[in-house]
């Protein structure tokens, strides 16, 4: 794949965070970062408001739809919907450890059933021409040996998956909350590196604990791609260095103010369509992270006194709260 259109740097799928407004905003900062939707279950697509769940702006490309499910037929139908809508990839969630997801028999608990995951991947591959990828952990509960992980990867790869996004922590399916599962199990980057060495024909993307672009660049000496999540959400302007450092694109990065100016027409258009202002402004709260006046900027955007302000007026007023040098 052309490096300018690759998964060298990915923004993780995050429930309640990586909605279409967040993805549009992030695309204004980086032209190349690979974006993922929130996880969408097959039931939500096949029995719910599919148009709402699948909606995205053409400017978001490259963008992947992450699916949650364990029924091969339902996943194949959902993947076909994603392809028809114009997504660039379909990703299967085999990493979420929440109780709700486990009750539906999908997410991280599927690591115990590699053959079923293989069947799911095979069904999706047969239904679409899109890449079908898997996001997973390095293990679950007591099933945390490298041999078990390698067996899982080998089995799913035989079904047609060529890209694995690996969160370098195991997951405890009982006893830890999803938040604790992102923090308590130790990071094992060495395990993911070993996968890359043992499966040179696969694309291995590393996820977990990465907070700087220098760390990302260091990991890219060992793996094919990196994925960041919460760091990007809370400090979105970190993406300003991605294109040059990780993709070799020498075009100048937009300033924070330029990003907001580009976001204004979108916010106005969405607000006119009935989208609440807070559904969009909440995503830009971290744009001036670490800059003097950032707290005032956030307060101006999240204050309750917005009244009937337009999206443009609200954002411009928030910017006016910043010192000139911001």
Catalytic residue list contains 10: no
Closest to 29 measured CA to CA, from 228, 260, 199, 203: 260
142: three-class secondary structure by DSSP = coil
- The CA distance from 128 to 118, in Å, is 16
For every residue of 183-216, DSSP letters joined together read TSSPP-HHHHHHHHHH-TTSEEEEESS--SHHHH
- The CA distance from 116 to 69, in Å, is 11
Give the rounded distance of the alpha carbon of 53 from its chain centre: 15
Of all helices (H) and strands (E), which one includes residue 124?
A: helix 114-127
Closest to 87 measured CA to CA, from 40, 25, 152: 40
For every residue of 7-31, DSSP letters joined together read TTEEEPP-TTTSSHHHHHHHHTT-S
What does the radius of gyration of the chain's CA atoms come to, in whole angstroms? 20
Cβ atoms of 219 and 8 closer than 8 Å: no
Catalytic residue among 96, 109, 120, 161: 96
98: three-class secondary structure by DSSP = coil
Q: What angle do CA 228, 231, 235 make, to 5 degrees?
A: 125
Of all helices (H) and strands (E), which one includes residue 40?
A: strand 34-41
Task: Report the catalytic residues.
Answer: 96
């Amino acid at each position: 794949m052309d490096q300018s259109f690759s998964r060298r740097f990915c923004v993780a799928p995050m429930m309640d965070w990586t909605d279409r407004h967040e993805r549009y905003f992030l695309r204004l900062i980086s032209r190349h970062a690979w974006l993922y939707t929130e996880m969408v279950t097959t039931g939500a697509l096949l029995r719910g408001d599919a148009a709402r769940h699948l909606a995205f702006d053409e400017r978001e490309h490259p963008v992947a739809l992450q699916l949650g499910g364990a029924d091969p037929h339902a996943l194949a139908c959902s993947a076909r919907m994603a392809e028809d809508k114009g997504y660039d990839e379909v990703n299967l969630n085999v990493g979420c450890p929440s109780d709700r997801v486990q009750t539906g028999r999908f997410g991280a608990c599927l690591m115990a059933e590699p053959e079923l995951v293989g069947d799911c991947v095979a069904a999706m591959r047969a239904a679409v021409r899109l890449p079908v990828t898997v996001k997973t952990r390095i293990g679950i509960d007591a099933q945390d040996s490298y041999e078990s992980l390698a067996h899982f990867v080998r089995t799913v790869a035989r079904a047609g998956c060529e890209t694995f996004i690996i969160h370098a922590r195991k997951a405890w399916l009982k006893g830890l909350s999803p938040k604790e599962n992102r923090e308590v199990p130790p990071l094992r980057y060495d395990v993911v590196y070993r996968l890359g060495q043992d499966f040179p024909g696969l694309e291995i993307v590393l996820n977990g604990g990465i907070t700087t672009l220098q760390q990302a660049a260091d990991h890219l000496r060992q793996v094919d791609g990196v994925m960041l999540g919460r760091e990007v959400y809370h400090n979105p302007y970190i993406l300003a260095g991605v294109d040059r450092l990780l993709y070799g694109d020498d075009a100048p990065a937009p300033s924070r103010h330029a990003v907001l100016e580009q976001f204004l027409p979108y916010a106005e258009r969405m607000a006119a369509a009935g989208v609440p202002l807070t559904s969009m402004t909440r995503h830009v709260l971290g744009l001036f992270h670490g800059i003097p006046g950032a707290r005032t900027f956030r307060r101006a955007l999240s204050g309750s006194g917005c009244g009937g302000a337009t999206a443009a007026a609200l954002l411009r007023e928030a910017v006016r709260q910043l010192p000139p040098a911001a």
